[in-house]
Each structure stands twice: as C-alpha cells, then as structure tokens.
C-alpha cells in the first residue's frame, strides 16, 4: 500500500514549511531538495512517479520563502529546512543508513550541507544524487577559483566532506548552470566516494527527464 502525507514542518529558525511524504513501506527512502523555480507542491506528481518507478519512499519539502511560507528565503533558513525534513524522517523511524539525498539545481546546497553534517557525525546517508548542481551561487555567473565572502551554498567546499557515494548528473548544454559545475563537483568529491558521473549529451537545465524518457 502507498500512503501520501501532506505535512507542515516546524524548523529551528521558526519557519513553517510544507512537505509531502510518499510512503510505500519500502526499504529505501529519498529525501528530495527542489530547484529554485519550483516548490514541493509543483513537483508532487513527479515525486509520486519517482517513488513508483524506483520503488522507494520519497519525502519532498519546500524551502522557507517558497510556496505558502510567509518569510523571505535565506541560506540559513534553507539549512534549517532540510534539517527539519531529516528530523521528520527520523521521527517516522526511517533507517538513516537507507536514505538517499537527491537534489536538483540549487537544491544541491541543502543536500550537501546535510551530507557533510551527517558524515561529520559518522552517520552518513546511503548516498547523494546531484542533478544539475551548482558549485556555489556566485560561480553560476563567474568562474572564481576561491569562494568569496558572501557567496551562498559553497558546494565545492562541502562535497569533499561527504562520506558516501556521490552521483553527479548534468546536461552538457545546460544554459542555466554551466556543465563545468557538475564536472568540478565530481572532481571535488573524494575519489573513494565518486560514483561514475552521468553526463547527458545535449541536455539543458530543465529537460533531462524529458530527454531520458524519450530515449527510453
């Protein structure tokens, strides 16, 4: 049986965020962090499809400042948001060793924050999937060698702290987050945790699933 729960999560920074949990009593669970131009209600049908096709439970959540949240978005709030989502799974007695952190685009920020935090506690997740990820926000526009003060989501500095398999997926013709972001994140991952990357020829930022579906 499959249950879909619509819940509101309270974060440590006082936000109330929307979340959906698709529970099919599966052994594996995916914690999904969405992209910038969407929220969890917009991708709910996709979350259910992901759960069905992979045979996994899926939790998706919206960030503070998105959907029906009343606060403006901030980097610290987003980190508190993903922590609240993780805490919800733990309250549901989900095995932390059987949770995969999956992100799209800017969702790579909270995903790698959480992966690094859990790894530092010797409780890493089962794995991390980064689809069209960013190195950092400033680097979307500029190819900086070092992270500058004020930059947001410095993923390139965090991915090396992940102590679990990391899969990077990126389209070679991404017009929003350049392909080299995915390449550099792959190289910044510790060699023993690098999963073979999935580069998709001709894919852009928002059509990866469509291209893969059409190709079978």
**pLDDT, tens only, 14-54:** 999 999 999 999 999 999 999 988 889 899 999 999 999 99
Q: pLDDT of 56-99, one tens digit each?
A: 999 999 999 886 666 788 999 999 999 999 999 999 999 999 99
144, 152 Cβ separation under 8 angstroms: no
Specify whether 173 is catalytic: no
Do the bridges between strand 16-23 and strand 127-131 make them parallel or antiparallel, or are there none, so unpaired? unpaired
- Is the four-CA dihedral 117, 118, 120, 121 of positive or negative sign? positive
Confidence of residue 213 (pLDDT cuts 50, 70, 90): low
Angle between helices 75-91 and 108-120 (to 10 degrees): 60
Is it the case that residue 6 has pLDDT exceeding 90?
A: yes
pLDDT over 60 (residue 216) = no
How many other CB atoms are there within 10 angstroms of residue 75's CB atom?
A: 15
Residue 155 · residue 103 · CB < 8 Å: no
Q: How far apart are CA 194 and CA 185, in angstroms?
A: 10
Catalytic residue, from 34, 170, 181, 205: name it: 205
Active site residue 105: yes
| pLDDT 10s digits, 166-205 | 999 999 999 999 999 999 999 999 999 999 999 999 988 8
In degrees and rounded to multiples of 5, residue 73 shows phi and psi of -70, 150
The number of helix segments (H) and strand segments (E) in the chain equals 6, 8
Catalytic residue among 103, 105, 119, 132: 105
Dig out the tokens for 47 from the structure.
């979350």
pLDDT of residue 150: 73
Q: What pTM was computed for the model?
A: 0.92
The chain-wide mean pLDDT, for the chain, equals 91
pLDDT of residue 70: 65
- In contact, 18 and 71? CB cutoff 8 Å: no
Task: Convert the pLDDT of each residue in 107-158 to its tens digit.
Answer: 999 999 999 999 999 999 999 999 999 998 767 666 666 676 777 889 999 9
CB 105 within 8 A of CB 35: yes
The whole-number pLDDT of residue 144 equals: 65
Catalytic-role residue among 69, 108, 174, 181:
174
Q: What is the pLDDT of residue 138?
A: 64
DSSP character string of 26-78 = -S-EEEEE--TT--TTTTHHHHHHHHHHHT-EEEEEPPTTSTT--SPP-HHHH
Which residues are paired to 4 by β-bridges? 22
170 catalytic per annotation: no
CA distance 189 to 25: 32
- Angstrom distance (rounded) from CA 150 to CA 164: 28
């Amino acid at each position: 049986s499959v249950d879909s729960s619509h819940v509101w999560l309270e974060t440590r920074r006082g936000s109330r965020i929307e979340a959906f949990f698709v529970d099919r009593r599966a052994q594996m669970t995916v914690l999904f962090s969405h992209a910038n131009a969407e929220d969890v209600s917009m991708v709910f049908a996709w979350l259910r499809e992901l759960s069905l096709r992979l045979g996994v439970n899926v939790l998706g959540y919206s960030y503070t400042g998105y959907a029906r949240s009343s606060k403006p978005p901030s980097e610290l709030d987003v980190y508190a948001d993903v922590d609240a989502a993780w805490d919800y799974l733990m309250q549901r007695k989900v095995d932390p060793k059987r949770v995969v952190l999956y992100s799209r685009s800017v969702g790579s920020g909270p995903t790698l924050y959480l992966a690094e935090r859990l790894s530092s506690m010797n409780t890493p997740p089962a794995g991390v999937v980064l689809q069209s990820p960013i190195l950092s926000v400033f680097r979307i526009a500029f190819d900086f060698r070092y992270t500058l003060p004020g930059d947001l989501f410095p993923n390139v500095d965090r991915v090396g702290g992940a102590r679990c398999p990391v899969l990077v997926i990126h389209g070679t013709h991404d017009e929003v987050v350049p392909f080299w972001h995915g390449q550099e994140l792959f190289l910044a991952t510790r060699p023993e945790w690098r999963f073979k990357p999935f580069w998709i020829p001709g894919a852009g930022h928002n059509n990866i699933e469509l291209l893969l579906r059409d190709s079978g």
